[in-house]
Chain A
Amino acid sequence: MTKHTTTDTAAGGPGAVPAMEEDLAIASAEVPKASQTQYRPFVKRVLAQKQGRIGLTITVVVLAFALLGPLLLPWATGNSATEFVAKPFTEYGLFGTDNLGRDVLSRFLAGGLTLFVYALLATALGMVLGTIIGMIAAYTGGVLDSIIMRLNDVILAIPQLVFALLAITVLGPQGWVLVTVIGITHAPRIARVARSATLGVITEDYILAAEMYAVPRWKIIVRELLPNITGPLSVEAGLRLTYSIGYIASLSFLGLGLQPPAADWGLMINENRIALSVQPWGVLLPVIAIAVLTIGTNLLADSFARAVASTSVENT
């Protein structure tokens, strides 16, 4: 549960605005024209930033843990994630045992995969829905636009976590419920970004030019519009992934996400936090993993935002 909505007012996420102003300042000063005409692909602009490289490295490392961890069991630790190996909260292996006497390290290795897959699916669902809704709203305009945006406001009025809790109350804490409800509640927030990005592009003369040559509307959307809003959308995707990870982990932490005996980082924190002072690893390992992963994805999102800001300077 994160503080999603900040980005809704600042199209392009928290990083977008701070990054932009530096470039604008230089652009407004009288710099020789030649210096701004170097075109660099998006990926290169992201990786040219230190924080982009750090973000990518961190994300990849934690991901490698999450994805490879389940495959390493029981080979790496000698245990599976659910078998009881010793008394609860005692020394065992590297990081001790958990509340039911299972090996903390084994559970940690097994506990990241579902979290990440759910978060990815929820983000993907939200991005697809939100982009379509936002683009339709901006492209058609008029009454339909107003209706869509008012309906968005309705969903925005309930915090995403509360919405998820409502859905879980009714439908139970199942995987598809988590993914769907987080994806759906992302959608209006993404739609706002997609809409404002589209509105920015739609007034450009090259869209009018395509209209003038009677290019079919779907082609205008695919060829002229979409490529020019991928920047803000990629920022949004990074941000939403960060938040999705946060929500799913939070719900599991609340005992309303993944259910026992599944091994999951959020759930581990819930199960073991009573023994934080006795046997802290059962809490600290997953907490650190979640913290590092979200920092990594958010650093990436922020460097996307900076990269996007520098293109828009080039293009204007």
Chain B
Amino acid sequence: MTTNPTTTDTVTEAGDHSVVLRVSDLRVATTAGDEILHGVSFALKRGEILGLVGESGSGKTTAGLACMGHFREGLKYSSGSVSLWPRGDETAVEVVELDEVAVRALRGSRIAYIPQDPALSLNPAMRVGEQISEVLDIHGFGSSESERSARVAEVLGDVGLPGDRVYQKRWPHQLSGGQQQRIGIAMAFAMYPDVLILDEPTTGLDVSTQAVVLDTIRRMTVANDVAGLYITHDLAVIREISDRVAVMLRGDLVEEGPVEGVLEHPRHEYTQMLMSAVPDLAGRKTIGDGTAGATASVEDVVDEDASDEHTTTVLMDSPLLQVKDVALSYGKAQILDGINLTLNPGECTMLLGESGSGKTTLSRCIAGLNDDYSGQVQLWGETMAPSTRKRTNEQRVGVQYVFQSPFSSLNPRRSIGQSLSVPLEMSGEDNAAARKSKVEDALDAVRLGRSFYHRRPGDLSGGERQRAAIARALVNAPSVLVCDEITSALDVSVQASIIALLRTLRQERQLAMLFVTHNIALSRHVADNLAVLNKGKIVDYGPTDEVLEDPKHEYTRELIDDVPKF
């Protein structure tokens, strides 16, 4: 796919008729004066989607909204231009120079926006049909009321929703997330716009819903010959949907070109780093900082372990951790149903499930944070009490749990050292000096360094906080680490470094891990075994490669099909 490595020449052709929107040297600053965008340039062409990729804080949303002449509270335009060539118009309009009335006439009609979170972006007190027809009313679509309501029904049909009156009378909260997002898409396409700004429209949706929404967007873009700007942090989605890609880093556009070219042969250092950090289902590479051989060696070690487990584990015949017939229900809602899992020393099992599958509930049952379950959780062959408070000291030390959000799991008022000392205090380590040295060792182990001992969570980045949270789980030298979605709140590059850290820790400490996630793409990077959880039941369970190559259950097959391939 290396046809044309030159990237920008096609864009700079001034007379290119297919260019609909061109952003040149755009600068945006905060009202306090700090520059957020440092001269960004790109062009959007008809019938083509440009993917704008960047991690949080890169300024990608700011750039996208600037295309519509919109700057959020606290931000202001400083210089540069945004030119728009509306359909059937030879001369360009300067979006950022227009007065309020003129720019309003463009928004929603010539340039449409599809927001990140449909649940927040649809007016909860307005019926969905009315929200679509509002766009048509404002921009004077057609000549009559009946023409407009026909258009509402038509565009609803286009996005695959029923266009009838009854459906239009629904309130946003009566629709599912995917339906809400399709309402958003319908609203955007209602006026046959020239340009579409899509701001992470599938973030927060399940993979299967994401697949449907992406498909709708792709189809509608082509059918309406629209120029799209797709903003996302997810490179896999970019590959799926866009023709060209632009990479942003802290307010600069560092690389731009055709998707294949940029993703296969990234030229900028940052893009290369990003690419190496993206997990892929095939598991061809080692994400994070590890060398190519690292994975292989881990797997070798693990394989050995698995094969002669009975000889090396002198403890007993039973596995390290065993979950037997765990079930949990609240009233009529069956959250977990007959769960069986086994974990051996040094082994990592991925528990894969979409939101609402019960995966967090299950991991909390194992950690003793949720004691409402029936069934048994055994450690070293002994059944543990459901509540962590009733478990023995050894059991509490043996199983450690890492929370999803590093922004919530550390007390902001206490130093990292204080927070990390708690497990030691509670497990009976009375000597303060000994506690301190163990905490410092743990901080070293997670590659943070002892200097973090006296710092507070507020001073730390998300990745650093997650490392500290992992260190808290390590201070007592546990046997099992339960990691509940620990990378989902983090940027992809940080995720990669955390994955690499976990890999090293497993290697160094023979740690068994239960890695809970919604992200199937991570499976080959972290797990020996894969358990797929759907509506409280494990529907597929076995060695990772086996499950991925030969899924037993329909649900697993769908999951694998729906995930954007990299």
**Does chain A touch chain B in the assembled complex, meaning CB atoms less than 8 Å apart?**
yes
Q: Using Cβ atoms and an 8 Å threshold, which residues of chain B touch A204?
A: 408-409
Interface assignment of A223: CB less than 8 Å from any CB of chain B: yes
**Within residues 348 to 394 of chain B, which ones have a CB less than 8 A from any CB in chain A?**
367-369, 388-389, 391
Of B252-260, B265-273, B277-285, B455-463, the stretch lying at the interface with chain A is: B455-463
Most B Cβ at <10 Å: residue of A38, A204, A206: A206
List residues of chain A with CB within 8 A of the CB of B72: 25, 28-29
Partner of B413, one of A37, A211, A228: A228
Decide yes or no whether A32 CB sits under 8 A from chain B.
yes
Name which of A212-220, A235-243, A269-277 contacts chain B: A212-220
B410 within 8 A of A: yes
Q: Which of B41-49, B418-426, B552-560 contacts A (4 or more CB under 8 A)?
A: B418-426
Whether A30 touches B407, Cβ cut-off 8 Å, given contacts A37-B458, A210-B422, is: no
A145 within 8 A of B: no
- The reply to whether A206 and B458 contact each other, CB–CB distance below 8 Å, is no
Task: Confirm or deny: B58 has a beta carbon within 8 angstroms of a beta carbon on chain A.
Answer: yes
In whole angstroms, what is the CA distance A208 to B56 when docked?
28
Q: Secondary structure of the A side of the interface?
A: helix
Q: When the two chains form their complex, are residues A315 and B57 in contact, meaning their CB atoms are under 8 A apart?
A: no
Name the A residues within 8 Å of B472 (CB-CB): 209
Q: Are B403 and A31 in contact (CB under 8 A)?
A: no
Determine whether A261 belongs to the interface, using a CB cutoff of 8 Å to chain B.
no
Q: Is the CB of A32 within 8 A of B57?
A: yes
Tell me if A83 counts as interface (CB < 8 A to partner B).
no
List residues of chain B with CB within 8 A of the CB of A212: 367-369, 388, 396, 401
Chain B 44-91 residues near chain A, CB threshold 8 A: 56-62, 72-75
Q: Smallest CB–CB gap between B401 and chain A, Å?
A: 6
Within 8 A of B (CB), among A166-214: 204-206, 208-214
Say yes or no: B426 contacts A214, CB within 8 Å: yes
User: How far apart are the CA atoms of A205 and B73 in the complex, in Å?
Assistant: 31
Neighbouring A residues of B74 by C-beta, 8 Å = 22, 25-26, 29
Determine the residue in chain A with the shortest Cβ distance to B460. Answer: A37
CA distance A315 to B406 in the complex (A): 11
**How many inter-chain residue pairs (CB < 8 Å) link A and B?**
102
Q: Quick check: is A314 within 8 A (CB to CB) of the other chain?
A: yes
Interface flag for B127 (CB, 8 Å):
no
Interfacial chain A residues near B250, Cβ < 8 Å = 32
A215 touches B403 (CB 8 A): no
**A39 to B426 Cα, complex, angstroms:** 29
Q: Is B136 an interface residue (CB 8 A)?
A: no
Is there an interface contact between A315 and B73, defined as CB atoms closer than 8 Å?
Answer: no
Residues on A with beta carbons closer than 8 Å to the beta carbon of B369? 208, 211-212
Residues of A within 8 A of B423 (CB): 213
Asked whether any CB of chain B lies closer than 8 Å to the CB of A8, the reply is no
A44 at the B interface (CB under 8 A): no
Distance between Cα atoms of A211 and B73 in the complex (Å): 40
A32 to B458, CA, bound (A): 15
Alpha-carbon distance A228/B140, docked complex (angstroms): 53
A33 close to B405 (CB less than 8 A): no
Q: In this assembly, does A227 line the interface, its C-beta being within 8 Å of a C-beta of chain B?
A: yes
Q: Judging by beta carbons under 8 Å apart, are A224 and B57 in contact?
A: no
Inter-chain CA distance A22–B31, complex, in Å, is 12
Q: Which residues of B contact A315 (CB under 8 A)?
A: 407, 412, 457-458
The answer to whether A29 touches B75, judged by C-beta atoms less than 8 angstroms apart, is yes
Q: Which of A205, A213, A223 contacts B414 (CB 8 A)?
A: A223
Does chain B have a CB within 8 A of A140? no
Contact with A along B460-474 (1 / 0, CB 8 A): 110000000000100
Contact A211 B388 (CB under 8 A): yes
A39 near B459: Cβ-Cβ < 8 Å: yes
* Interface pair A214/B409, CB less than 8 Å apart: no
Q: Which of B82-125 contact A (CB under 8 A)?
A: none
Q: Is the CB of B367 within 8 A of A39?
A: no
Task: Compute how far the CA of A204 lies from the CA of B408 in the bound complex, rounded to whole angstroms.
Answer: 5
Chain B, range 228-287, C-beta contacts under 8 Å to A: 250
B515-529 contacts to A (CB < 8 Å): none
Residues of B contacting A227 in the complex (Cβ-Cβ under 8 angstroms):
411, 413-414
Closest A residue to B60 using CB positions: A30
Kindly state the separation between the CA atoms of A37 and B57 in the bound complex, as whole angstroms: 14
Q: Which residues of B contact A206 (CB under 8 A)?
A: 408-411, 419
Instruction: Compute how far the CA of A33 lies from the CA of B459 in the bound complex, rounded to whole angstroms.
Output: 10
List chain A residues, Cβ under 8 A from B550. none
A277-316, CB under 8 A of B: which get 1 and which 0? 0000000000000000000000000000000000100111
Looking across the interface, which residue of chain A has its beta carbon closest to that of B400?
Answer: A212
B34 lies within 8 A of chain A by Cβ:
yes
Q: Does B443 contact A (CB under 8 A)?
A: no
Q: Which of B367, B409, B412, B422 is A228 in contact with, Cβ under 8 Å?
A: B412
Q: How far is the CA of A314 from the CA of B57 in the complex (A)?
A: 15
Q: Is B512 on the interface with A (CB-CB < 8 A)?
A: no
Q: Are A31 and B30 in contact (CB under 8 A)?
A: yes
Give min CB distance, A296 to chain B, whole Å.
28
Known: A25-B74, A28-B72, A209-B472. A316 touches B388 (CB 8 A): no
The answer to whether B412 and A31 have CB atoms under 8 Å apart is: no
- Chain A residues closer than 8 Å to B191, beta-carbon distance: none
| Most chain A beta-carbon neighbours within 10 Å: one of B56, B369, B458, B460 | B458
Check A30/B403 contact, CB under 8 A, given A206-B408, A211-B369, A213-B396: no
- Chain A: minimal CB distance from B54 (Å): 9
* Contact A30 B411, beta carbon cutoff 8 Å: no
A55 to B562, CA, bound (A): 60
Give the CA-CA distance A213 to B396 in the complex, in Å. Answer: 7
Q: Does B36 contact A (CB under 8 A)?
A: yes
Q: Which of A208, A213, A314 has the most CB of B within 10 A?
A: A213
How far is B412's CA from A208's CA once the two chains are assembled, in angstroms?
14
Shortest beta-carbon distance from B444 to chain A in Å: 21
Are B461 and A37 in contact, with the CB atoms below 8 A? yes
Q: How many angstroms from the CA of A25 to the CA of B71 in the assembled complex?
A: 11
Knowing A212-B369, A213-B426, say if A30 contacts B408 (CB, 8 Å).
no
The residue on B at minimum CB distance from A225 is B411
Contacts of A311 in B (CB 8 A): 412, 458
For the complex formed, measure the closest distance between the CB of A217 and the CB atoms of chain B, giving whole angstroms: 9
Q: How far is the CB of A227 from chain B (nearest CB, A)?
A: 4
Asked if residues B403 and A209 are in contact (CB atoms below 8 Å), the reply is yes
**A209→B456 CA distance, assembly (Å):** 17
The residues of A that contact B58 with a CB separation of less than 8 Å are: 30
Whether the Cβ atoms of A37 and B459 lie closer than 8 Å is yes
Can you list 18 A-B pairs, Cβ within 8 angstroms, ordered by A? Answer: A26-B73, A28-B73, A29-B62, A29-B73, A29-B74, A30-B61, A30-B62, A37-B458, A37-B460, A38-B459, A204-B408, A204-B409, A205-B403, A205-B409, A212-B368, A214-B396, A314-B412, A315-B412
Chain A interface residues toward B at CB < 8 A: 22, 25-26, 28-33, 35, 37-39, 204-206, 208-215, 223-224, 227-228, 311, 314-316
- In the complex, the 6 A-B pairs of residues with the closest C-beta atoms, listed nearest first: A205-B409, A25-B73, A227-B413, A205-B403, A205-B408, A315-B412
14 additional contacts (CB under 8 A) given A31-B34, A31-B36, A212-B401: A25-B74, A32-B34, A32-B250, A33-B56, A37-B461, A205-B409, A209-B422, A211-B369, A212-B368, A212-B369, A212-B388, A213-B423, A224-B411, A316-B407
